[in-house]
Structure formats: structure tokens, C-alpha cells
Amino acid sequence: MLKINKSSFNDFLSDVMRYNELVAPVKSDESRFETVRDISKIQLDLHTYFPAKKFFFKKDQTLYTYEKGKFKVPELQPEKKQRVMVGLKRCDLNSIKRQDMMFLQEIPDPYYKEERDRTILVGYHCTGPVDEFCFCSSMDLGDFYDLMLYDKDDAYLVEIGSERGRAFVDRYRKYFWDTDLFLRPEDRRIDTDLKLEPRDILPYYERVEWKKDVDRCFSCAACVTLCPSCFCFDMEDEVDAKLCKSDKKRNWASCQLTCFTKVAGGHVFRESRENRFKHRIYHQLQYFRETHGMNLCSGCGRCIRGCPTRINFVQTLNDMHGQDR
Ligand code: SF4
Ligand code: SF4
């Protein structure tokens, strides 16, 4: 097993920052992953309000530009610095895995791939749930990281999860020490109070209990925006005022908005708020699993934490499940 002493961790990060883009959890107005300029601002154990997905799946990606009769595709930039992202939690990492499944399998998306290829994922294993909204312990999350750090007294124990992680450790070997310390099963566990109890949520789709949540939903889409796993996007043309140039953009989209399922002729597939509300939850916990063998949701709790009316769909599902037992 390897360890890195906390006393030398900032030196290590400074060294990393010299040649790489360093991204870490930072608390400013809100907590988010940011490119670090000042190491003292990093809070490794912070479970960020905003997810890290914008670094790979950009909010706004130009796919091509049309100008003066010619199409131009933005060039990839292979010379970009390597990026080291530290402080990703188990839920964040599992969500990146799910986004990889969407953007790298079958036909890989070149823009997403470029950002993933240049990024080393360094996790920080939570020592406990950050609040009452985390429910990752019930989501069957897997190991997905290049390196994982475990907080152990005056050091971080380091687990290597990939060849890329091993090469990274070799590059900064002077900071890593062999140790007799080892990880106990409980070091790898995160015991959340909230747990999703039903394994199969299909029987609950038509239940009236959803109504109390649906009635409090504004269709504001905060839940989708904050979700590290949600990957839906929309495409639109941005035309300049002189009508000479047009950018085809890919932007984040949300199944909570009526425009998401509006098609030619003006028909909206999920016109009712109830249908939109339930679609998000069933996509996260049912439809994705039917196709990909795992839940899309990683149990990070961001959609509950960030909901203006604190709608807790996990509790609603648990209540229905409890009544049926
Ligand atoms: S954040 Fe809450 S109120 Fe807004 S769309 Fe999602 S569930 Fe509805
Ligand atoms: S659905 Fe909610 S709890 Fe699940 S990954 Fe998305 S934000 Fe996190």
C-alpha cells in the first residue's frame, strides 16, 4: 500500500500544478470543482453543490460554424495541458463512468473524449455522508478512478485504479511512501442514513403518492442541471445579428421542460408535469438499468439538496415500498 503524508500534500499539489491544470473542490459563493489558482482554497473533503461534469460534457459546445458559405469544425487541441482532478467523491466518479458510457462507447464524441483523455481522476473517499440527502450506500457503486485517497490520520492511503494512475504515481514518486497500513472494509464503506429501499420501482409508477411531490415541482430543472449523471442535450443554431455566421451549439437540456419533447408540428410528448417529473426518476432508476445493467443515479443527493422545495423522491419511493411490505 502507498501513502502520501498530509504534511507534504500541498507541496505535491504545487508540483502537479506547475505542469498540469489542477481541478479540485473549492468553496466560493457555492462549492464547485474549479481550476485551482490558490492551493489554500482547496477543500478535499467537500461534496460540491455543483457536479464536475462541465469539465467533460460542456454546457455549451460548438460543433461547427457556418460562415461565408463554408463549414468549419472546431479543431481538437491535443497539445492542451494534462488535467489532474482531485477530490472526486465515489458518486462523482461513478457518474463520470456513466457519462463515459454515453459519450465514449459506440461512436465516441471527440470533444468529450479529448477532455477525458487529458484528465487523471484522483478520488477522495468520503469518511461519512455529508448530509441527510446522500444515499450512495444503496446504489451499488463500483470502483472507478485512477487513484483513490483514503483519509487516515496524518496521511492519505492511496489506491491505484488504473495504469494511468500508476504512471502518475511513478512521476511523483518522491511524495509517495510504502506503508504497512491497510484499508479495512469499513474504510471503503459510506454509511448513509438515507437508502433507496425498493430494488424495482416499476410497480409504483401509477401510484397516487407521487402527487404530493408533483404538486410541489416547479419544473425548474435544477435537479437535472445539478445531476452529475444526466447527459441529455439539445442542439441549436446561434445566428449573428447580420445573419452572416451561424454556430451549431450543443447545450445541456432537461427532461423537466416541455420544450425537451416538443417535435415538429408542435406536439409535446410529455406535456404533463407529472409525466416529466416521473420520467427523470424512472430514467435514473429503471430505464437506464434495463439497457445498461446499472442505475444512472449514483446517489449523490444533489437533486434533493438543490431542489427549491426539497422534493425527496427516495423517501417517496421508500414510503410506497414500506406500505407494500
Ligand atoms: S429541482 Fe425540484 S422543483 Fe425543480 S424540477 Fe426538479 S424536482 Fe421539480
Ligand atoms: S438523480 Fe439525483 S441523486 Fe441521482 S445522481 Fe442525479 S443528482 Fe445525484
- One DSSP character per residue, 276-322 reads HHHHHHHIIIIIHHHHHSS-S-----HHHHT-TT---HHHHHHHHHH
Residue 193 lies in a domain: no
**Secondary structure class of 96 (helix, strand, coil):** helix
Query: Which atom belonging to ligand 2 lies closest to the Cα atom of 301?
Result: 3
Does 146 share its domain with 226? Answer: no
- Residue 311 Cβ < 6 Å to ligand 1: yes
Whether residue 246 is predicted with pLDDT greater than 90 in this model: the reply is yes
**By residue range, what is the domain housing residue 301?**
202-324
The domain tally of the chain equals 2
Residue 195 lies in a domain: no
pLDDT one-digit tens code per residue, 120-136: 999 999 999 999 999 99
- Residue 308 Cβ < 6 Å to ligand 1: yes
Which among 145, 165, 188 is the end of a domain?
188
C-beta of residue 81 within 8 angstroms of C-beta of residue 21 = yes
C-beta of residue 247 within 8 angstroms of C-beta of residue 62 = yes
pLDDT one-digit tens code per residue, 212-232: 999 999 999 999 999 999 999
pLDDT at 206: 97
Which among 188, 222, 251 is the end of a domain?
188
- Residue 192 Cβ < 6 Å to ligand 2: no
Residue 154 lies in a domain: yes
Does 66 share its domain with 92? Answer: yes
Which among 188, 214, 235 is the end of a domain?
188
pLDDT at 325: 79
Whether residue 31 is predicted with pLDDT greater than 90 in this model: the reply is yes
The conformation of residue 258, written as its DSSP 8-state character, comes to: G
User: Does pTM top 0.85 for this prediction?
Assistant: yes
Q: What is the CA(224)–ligand 2 centre distance, in A? A: 8
Does 67 share its domain with 152? Answer: yes
Query: Which atom belonging to ligand 2 lies closest to the Cα atom of 95?
Result: 5
Residue 135 lies in a domain: yes
Residue 229 lies in a domain: yes
Does 105 share its domain with 225? Answer: no
**How large is the average pLDDT for residues 138-145?**
96
Q: What is the CA(237)–ligand 2 centre distance, in A? A: 30
- Residue 122 Cβ < 6 Å to ligand 2: no
Does 167 share its domain with 133? Answer: yes
